[in-house]
Structure formats: structure tokens, C-alpha cells
Amino acid sequence: MSTSVEIRQGVAVILMDSPPVNSLGHALRASLARTLDEAIQNPEVQAIVLAGDGKMFSGGAAIDEFNQPVRA
């Protein structure tokens, strides 16, 4: 449950890697937030593309986290 980033000609390509469906659980959301902040602060980055590694962008929310306490 992580993200990776590659900068290509001023474009930060951020890949979500949370098999099998890139569900947006807390760990992936936290990783996305960190990666996006880093890309925004990088003076080389002029644009950001968010993509899913594997077969899909994202299957949606992580339903196993529904009705759970809020994490900071």
C-alpha cells in the first residue's frame, strides 16, 4: 500500500500501488498525501498525474474501514 513518483519532463507521475484494486484505505491515502505534498513543493514539477499501478485506477473506498474510528 504505497505510492511511487517519477518526474518526466516537469510532470510528476504518481502511481498508486495497493493490489489488487488500489482501494483507498488509510495507508494509501496517507501515502498519497505525502507524495502529493512532495510533488507540489518540487520546483521542477509543473503538473501532476495520478494513476493506478496494475489493472485499474482505483476500485474505490476500502469498505473494511467503514464504521471505524477516524485516523489522523
User: DSSP strand E in the chain: where?
Assistant: 2-8, 11-17, 47-52
The conformational region for residue 3 under phi > 0 = left, psi -120 to 50 = alpha, else beta, is: beta
Q: Model pTM?
A: 0.82
Tell me how far apart the alpha carbons of residues 70 and 64 are, in angstroms, rounded to a whole number. 13
Q: What is the pLDDT along the chain (72 residues), one digit of tens a residue?
A: 699 999 999 999 999 998 888 989 889 999 999 999 999 999 999 999 999 998 889 988 888 888 777 776
Q: Do residues 13 and 25 touch, judged by C-beta distance below 8 A?
A: no
Residue 34 neighbours by CB under 8 Å, 6+ apart: 3
